Amino acid sequence: SQQGEEDPQALSIQEGENATMNCSYKTSINNLQWYRQNSGRGLVHLILIRSNEREKHSGRLRVTLDTSKKSSSLLITASRAADTASYFCASPQANAGGTSYGKLTFGQGTILTVHP
C-alpha cells in the first residue's frame, strides 16, 4: 500500500494565487520530503521536514508536518505558471532492521496547473 497519499489529485489555479497540497501517511516517519516533477522530466527535491519539526520554509514554499495526524501540507505562495507540475510527498521506509537505506515511498502526486 502507498505510504504517502496526496490530496487533491489535481489543482487548477490562477497565477498569483496560493496552492495547498496535502499528504497523508500511514506509518511512523523520521522525515517527510516533497518533490516536484515537470512533465516529461525527473523528480526534483524541494524540501525535507524532520519529524521533530512542525513547519519549514524555503522561498515561496511552506511545509507543515503534523505527526499526530500523520499528515503534511505543502503551500506554494504567489504561484507562477512555471510552478505547473506534479508534486509528490515521500518518506523513508524502515526495513526489518530499523534502517531505511534511503527507500522512499511516494504517493501518486498532485497535478498542479497554474494559469497565466
Partner 1 sequence: DTAVSQTPKYLVTQMGNDKSIKCEQNLGHDTMYWYKQDSKKFLKIMFSYNNKELIINETVPNRFSPKSPDKAHLNLHINSLELGDSAVYFCASSQMRQGAEQYFGPGTRLTVT
80 vs 103, beta carbon nearer partner 1: 103
89 within 8 A of 107, measured Cβ to Cβ: yes
13 vs 94, beta carbon nearer partner 1: 94
87 vs 114, beta carbon nearer partner 1: 87
By C-alpha distance, which of 106, 73, 66 is closest to 7?
Answer: 73
Residues that bind partner 1 (CB under 8 A): 2, 30-31, 33, 35, 37, 40-45, 48, 50, 86, 88, 92, 99-106, 108-109, 111
Question: Least separation, in Å, of the C-beta of 36 and partner 1?
Answer: 11
Question: Least separation, in Å, of the C-beta of 95 and partner 1?
Answer: 8
15 vs 47, beta carbon nearer partner 1: 47
Question: Least separation, in Å, of the C-beta of 101 and partner 1?
Answer: 5
| DSSP state letters, 62-98 | EEEEETTTTEEEEEE-S--GGG-EEEEEEEE---TTS
Q: Is residue 11 helix, strand or coil? A: strand
77 within 8 A of 62, measured Cβ to Cβ: yes
